[in-house]
């Protein structure tokens, strides 16, 4: 028993989109302990899809299709699978109703072409799509063969996988052994430096420890295989504890614990509030903080001070300091942090001012130079300079600036800053 | 004559890495006009790689392999291809010398395991790897079949492709035609509705027109095959012009023209400035606007008014209106837009206030309800309500809110709003 992923879409063959669905499904199958030996990508073409199915059913017993469920004529997946197995399509009234309802909820009327999305092979079940119009199918067209289809839109596919596919697979007796993992997240240390510190753990077979490079952070995946998630979690715990001891403050959280969520939890614990003053990030730090539901409990808002006159008018940045040191300087970063803290009456203020590029640099102030300021509940202020390097590019410099600001606040909230 | 991409690596089947090589090669093959109908991923396993080759040589005449060229025992690609064609491997002295030289240049000595990387099938040529140790091969083991191998490390593969593979393919008479495309981007119309309007174009063979769903937008790809990029562009132009006429204001740009870039260009054209007042997006709209280099020419900044006291103190939102209508209301959206425009002294002000969820909703104000306000250079203000639907989730509601605000401003700048 093994699974095969078949991604359908001419856009994949033209390189127009990156196939993230394969990685997602590969990881999910691995977590369920379902073997998976082949992935195939094929275009929106009946004959070639038929050929791919003919090959796949000889070597795999679960075929997972993504893509080609849309309403347009080049979306062929469902009808092509049905025709391969010589099975007629039938219109499912419940799907029509669901699609109509979804259109109505956003004040629109279903297009006639969407009717096509309600056609499923006779004998197949609907795989509901809670966040989009196109449902998938779960179908066993012959013994020892299960077909599941998903739309190509990653977010819709993820919901359908989590909400329906996993429990279906388990109900069929697949995925009884589980692989459970903890993704540990670190900042302030490079991948190779961390890997050297924990090298003795890499030989372990169960749980396994493997390093991953992430954007703006380093990750270690600790994964255990066991008959239950509880058992696997118990196997992971001592290893994760050892790693935390080794990494110290450089470890900031695991799995979905983002820097913003960790900072939010620390602020909630001490019942303190935060505001931000952003120049080169243009609102990105505020957006990152408010990704966390409930962030209104500690995040009051901020000032996007992209232009210098806004820095002066709303943040009380001194015009002489601005003229003498420039907007990208320690003194302006500190004044911005103090200014927003005072203006919004919060306990903490954080500021970011830097040169994101591609232009605006000077020999002394290269692209990638960023100052981050912090104003504390005691009205102290300080700032640090970072050189993210111009080769990183505008978007990454901005992203790393926001991450670094959050990490700086995290370390200050832990009152154990290793920066000062 | 068509190409097939075969990626080898168990790590791909475990989902440990994202397969960016497939997209890179797909794009490159499309640019060369070499048809490419299948991509296959298989693990480091001799028997399964043999099966994949047996299938591929029946349907494709150029097989492009990535991965499995390293020095470790699980790197099997070269020897497995050779054994499929019953061809012995031979050690290439020049490769050994090259690897030794590369190690020496970083002060290291070649390890014995690297000798393996100098073994290539009899009759094959070396495909040099200027930035890594593992070279690839170019091999024609039988008539009408060309095999090329590349390492899995993307940067090494890219160099080898650019430096050697392209000119080799052209020397064989392949890649004389080029495919050039324009990705047209639309907002305010669904994929199915747009597809119905341009349905008559989908039958065209050269150029082709195909729809794509994007997040917060719909796309049509117009692609032409010709002997030069110039010729292809000339073939695309009349089709793109026709689509623009059909779509009207719903077309906003092509290729890398984001909504933020289009709005920036329109503001620059009329020399007007913009500020933003953000509640539920928390800075996301400002971050989106400042993704565009040079945005400081028209974007001065804004206020992140996450808490109501910030809406009052910095944006002059009326406390009685706030109490009576709530922060998520037309009247507050308009006051926020006017407030930020006045406070930052810009020509335009845009505001966003909504319920991103998951909590904070009421029966009258569900998750996904968002008000967007606009204050015009004439100090008029108006606002619109959008219902993005709670099933979309917090992040997508926030993202769509920012996109919609930009689109609303775009239509107002074009003075032809279809919303009012």
pLDDT tens by residue, A130-187: 988 889 999 999 999 999 999 999 989 999 999 999 999 999 988 777 778 898 999 9
Q: Is any Cβ of chain A less than 8 angstroms from the Cβ of B106?
A: no
Residue A282: left if φ>0, alpha if ψ -120 to 50, beta else—which one? left
Residue A142: left if φ>0, alpha if ψ -120 to 50, beta else—which one? beta
How much is the pLDDT for A205? 86
**Could you give the CA distance from residue B168 to residue B148 in angstroms, rounded to a whole number?**
10
The minimal CB distance from B392 to the residues A70, A131, A307 is found for A131
β-bridge partners, B138:
B125, B148
- In order, the DSSP letters of A104-140 are HHTT----GGGGGGGEEETTPEEE--TTSS--EEEEE
Q: Is any Cβ of chain B less than 8 angstroms from the Cβ of A256?
A: no
The minimal CB distance from A106 to the residues B51, B215, B387 is found for B387
Which helix (DSSP H) or strand (DSSP E) does residue B382 occupy?
A: strand B381-387
How much is the pLDDT for A191? 74
How much is the pLDDT for B103? 82
Task: Give me the sign of the Cα torsion angle A324, A326, A331, A335.
Answer: positive
Strand B381-387 with A381-387, pairing:
unpaired
Q: Indicate the pLDDT class of residue B417, thresholds 50, 70 and 90.
A: very low
Where b means 16+ CB within 10 Å and e means fewer, A337-351 reads bbbbbebbebbbbbb
pLDDT tens by residue, B314-352: 999 999 999 999 999 999 999 999 999 999 999 999 999
In percent, the amount of chain A with pLDDT more than 90 equals 74
Q: At residue B361, does pLDDT exceed 70?
A: yes
Better-scored residue on pLDDT, A273 or A134: A273
> Strands across the sheet with B381-387, in order?
A381-387, A369-375, A348-354, A274-278, A299-305, B299-305, B274-278, B348-354, B369-375, B381-387
Q: What is the number of residues in chain B?
A: 420
pLDDT tens by residue, A229-258: 899 999 999 999 999 999 999 999 998 899
CA triple B178-B184-B188, angle to 5 deg: 165
pLDDT tens by residue, B174-184: 888 778 889 99
- Average pLDDT value for residue range B169-198: 89
pTM strictly above 0.90: no
How much is the pLDDT for B420? 37
Q: At residue B381, does pLDDT exceed 60?
A: yes
Q: At residue B403, does pLDDT exceed 70?
A: yes
How much is the pLDDT for A16? 84
Q: At residue A347, does pLDDT exceed 50?
A: yes
Q: At residue B106, does pLDDT exceed 80?
A: no
Whether the Cβ atoms of residue A215 and residue A259 lie closer than 8 Å to each other: no
Q: What is the dihedral of CA A255, A259, A260, A261, to 10 degrees?
A: 40
Better-scored residue on pLDDT, B153 or B37: B37
pLDDT tens by residue, A365-402: 999 999 999 999 999 999 999 998 877 789 989 999 99
Strand A217-226 with A178-186, pairing:
antiparallel
How much is the pLDDT for A196? 84
Beta strands in A50-175 (DSSP E): 62-66, 89-91, 119-121, 125-127, 136-142, 145-150
Q: Is any Cβ of chain B less than 8 angstroms from the Cβ of A297?
A: no
Give the A window 196-225 contacts with B, CB below 8 Å.
210, 212
Chain B: give the shortest CA distance to residue A227, in Å.
Answer: 19
Q: Is any Cβ of chain B less than 8 angstroms from the Cβ of A21?
A: no
Q: Indicate the pLDDT class of residue B418, thresholds 50, 70 and 90.
A: very low
Q: Is any Cβ of chain A less than 8 angstroms from the Cβ of B195?
A: yes
- Average pLDDT value for residue range B212-235: 88
Contact yes or no for B286 and A283 at CB 8 A: yes
Chain A: give the shortest CA distance to residue B258, in Å.
Answer: 14
**Could you give the CA distance from residue A380 to residue B227 in angstroms, rounded to a whole number?**
66
Q: At residue A324, does pLDDT exceed 90?
A: yes
Which helix (DSSP H) or strand (DSSP E) does residue A351 occupy?
A: strand A348-354
Which helix (DSSP H) or strand (DSSP E) does residue A7 occupy?
A: strand A3-8
Q: At residue B392, does pLDDT exceed 90?
A: no
Q: Indicate the pLDDT class of residue A214, thresholds 50, 70 and 90.
A: low
Query: CA-CA distances (angstroms) from residue A71 to A114, B32, B367, B411?
Result: 5, 31, 27, 28
* Range name among A43-52, B62-71, B257-266 with the lowest pLDDT average: B62-71
How much is the pLDDT for A420? 38
pLDDT tens by residue, B227-267: 888 999 999 999 999 999 999 999 999 988 999 999 999 99
Q: At residue A295, does pLDDT exceed 70?
A: yes
Whether the Cβ atoms of residue A233 and residue A227 lie closer than 8 Å to each other: no
Q: Is any Cβ of chain B less than 8 angstroms from the Cβ of A293?
A: yes
- Average pLDDT value for residue range A287-295: 97
What are the φ and ψ backbone dihedral angles of A228, each rounded to 5 degrees? Answer: -145, 160
Whole-number mean pLDDT of chain B? 92
pLDDT tens by residue, A254-270: 988 999 999 999 999 99
Residues of A in contact with B303 (CB under 8 A): 301-304, 314
Q: What is the number of residues in chain A?
A: 420
Q: Is any Cβ of chain B less than 8 angstroms from the Cβ of A307?
A: yes
Question: Is the confidence metric ipTM above 0.90 for this complex?
Answer: no
């Amino acid at each position: 028993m093994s699974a095969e992923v078949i991604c359908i879409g001419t856009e994949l063959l033209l390189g127009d989109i990156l196939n993230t669905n394969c990685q997602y499904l590969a990881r999910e199958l691995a977590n369920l302990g379902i073997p998976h030996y082949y992935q195939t990508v094929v275009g929106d073409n009946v004959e070639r899809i038929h050929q791919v199915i003919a090959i796949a059913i000889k070597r795999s017993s679960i075929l997972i299709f993504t893509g080609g469920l849309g309403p347009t004529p080049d979306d062929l997946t469902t009808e092509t699978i049905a025709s391969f197995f010589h099975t007629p399509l039938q219109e499912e009234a419940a799907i029509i109703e669901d699609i109509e309802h979804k259109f109505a909820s956003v004040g629109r009327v279903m297009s006639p072409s969407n009717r096509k999305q309600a056609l499923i092979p006779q004998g197949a079940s609907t795989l509901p799509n809670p966040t989009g119009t196109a449902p998938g199918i779960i179908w066993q067209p012959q013994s020892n063969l299960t077909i599941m289809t998903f739309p190509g839109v990653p977010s819709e596919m993820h919901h359908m996988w989590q909400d329906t596919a996993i429990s279906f697979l388990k109900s069929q007796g697949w995925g009884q052994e589980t692989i459970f993992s903890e993704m540990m997240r670190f900042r302030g240390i490079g991948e190779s430096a961390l890997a050297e510190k924990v090298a003795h753990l890499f030989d372990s077979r169960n749980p396994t420890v493997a390093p991953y490079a992430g954007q703006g952070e380093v990750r270690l995946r600790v994964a255990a295989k066991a008959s239950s998630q509880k058992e696997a979690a118990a196997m992971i715990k001592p290893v994760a504890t050892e790693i935390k001891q080794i990494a110290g403050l450089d470890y900031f959280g695991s799995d979905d614990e983002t820097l913003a969520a960790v900072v939010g939890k620390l602020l909630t614990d001490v019942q303190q509030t935060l505001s931000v003053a952003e120049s080169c990030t243009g609102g990105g730090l505020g957006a990152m903080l408010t990704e966390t539901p409930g962030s209104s409990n500690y995040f009051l808002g901020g000032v996007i001070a992209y232009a210098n006159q806004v820095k002066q008018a709303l943040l009380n940045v001194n015009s002489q300091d601005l003229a003498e040191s420039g907007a990208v300087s320690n003194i302006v970063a500190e004044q911005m942090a103090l200014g927003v803290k005072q203006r919004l009456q919060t306990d903490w203020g954080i500021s970011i001012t830097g040169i994101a590029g591609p232009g605006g640099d000077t020999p002394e102030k290269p692209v990638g130079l960023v100052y981050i300021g912090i104003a504390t509940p005691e009205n102290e202020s300080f700032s640090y300079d970072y050189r993210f390097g111009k080769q990183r590019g505008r978007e990454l410099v901005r992203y790393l600036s926001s991450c670094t600001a959050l990490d700086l606040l995290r370390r200050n909230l832990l009152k154990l800053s290793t920066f000062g």
